Copies of this chain bind each other. A is one copy, B any other.
């Protein structure tokens, strides 16, 4: 048996096209487009590269995009004032502060200063709480878990009554996706188990999973014999395990990425599987765009 691949790269294109069409329609009807501001403090190459990709994607789907770059020595007070400005700006529906911030700034204080109704990353305690409460309360599910749920749904995998096992209990992936899958409603209604470093028998739990979501950050942690035949395996791990010459320019080295699942062997057992790279990765920015569009729709009362 060879698993059906769930490709984030393909699903991203589908969703971005849907968003583009919806943005155009809302613009026509309401004369507004979603506005996203990206706040970048300093010039760390990794941060610049992430922000650039977000900006590019926002432009592609027709958003109003504001790029606000600040020097690395901006004071916490000034950064908070900047956030306050965008909280009050009616043309902005999503505020993104690229992490990490310089050490003299309290990350948490800055993120918690974002208006929860513009917190399209979904990490503000209010949005975390809304996510756990579920139903109509939910505004912005965090982007990676939202992407995972979307991939499962679009692959046509049944979630209602399914045994979902989540490996990892991070605030970015493990805990939110577990809370999402257990709720009532579409793409959820699953029996959910969270396993982690203290779990006694990781293998036994993985073996009974109809949907196995692995976000442990340990390359190759999940062995093929831990996978139930036909299961849907979502690999959230993106581990740099070495370097290789770039395909485009062999004089440059690029990272070799490996997931938390032994992909080559697992794909012979699983029914569905996400590759690394090209699986969950491309979904995060996609769902960020989705949340920003949703934010405008909430504001217009059409969500």
Contacts and interface: CB of A to CB of B under 8 A. Distances in A.
A198 B189 contact: yes
A92 interface: no
Given A182-B169, A182-B175, A198 B191 contact: yes
The count of identical subunits is 2
B161 A199 contact: yes
A133 interface: yes
Contact of A192 (B129, B132, B137, B193): B193
A160 interface: yes
Contacts of A190: 198
Contacts of A195: 191
A179 B128 contact: no
Interface in A190-220: 190-196, 198-200, 205
A191 B182 contact: no
A228 interface: no
Interface residues of A, number: 36
Contacts of A245: none
Interface in A158-178: 160-161, 163, 169, 171, 175-176, 178
A127 interface: yes
A289 to B, nearest CB: 23
Contacts of A184: 169
A205 B176 CA distance: 22
Contacts of A192: 193-194
A128 B129 CA distance: 4
Given A125-B130, A129-B126, A132-B129, A161 B198 contact: yes
Interface in A65-105: none
Contact of A179 (B125, B132, B183, B189): B132
Contacts of A199: 161, 191
Interface string A129-155: 111111001000000000000000000
